Amino acid sequence: MRSVFTDLVDQNPSFVLRAVKDVAFEDREIPKLRDEHEVRVQVAQTGICGSDVSSAQNLTHCLY
C-alpha cells in the first residue's frame, strides 16, 4: 500500500511566523543529517496552541 505522504519525502512545508499577524506556508530546505545518531521523522499532523496564536498577534510577548 502506498503512503499518502510518498510525494512529500523531498518537501518540507513549514508554517512560518514572519511578523505580527503575518504567517505563511513556505517550503523550507530539509536539514541534512549530521551523523548516524540523527533521524528524520515524518509528521502527519500538528497543531498550534492558543497561547501561540495570542503571541503571534502581539510579538512583544514572544521576545525574551
- Single out the residue of 57, 44, 48, 32 nearest to residue 4, CA to CA: 44
Stated pTM of the model: 0.54
**Residue 26's pLDDT is what?**
93
How far is Cα 16 from Cα 25, in angstroms, rounded to an integer?
Answer: 6
How far is Cα 1 from Cα 31, in angstroms, rounded to an integer?
Answer: 28
For the chain, the domains span 6-61
How far is Cα 43 from Cα 23, in angstroms, rounded to an integer?
Answer: 20
| 28-63 pLDDT, tens digit each | 998 899 999 999 888 888 887 877 777 667 765 555
What region does 63 belong to: left with phi over 0, alpha with psi -120 to 50, or beta? Answer: beta
**Residue 52's pLDDT is what?**
74
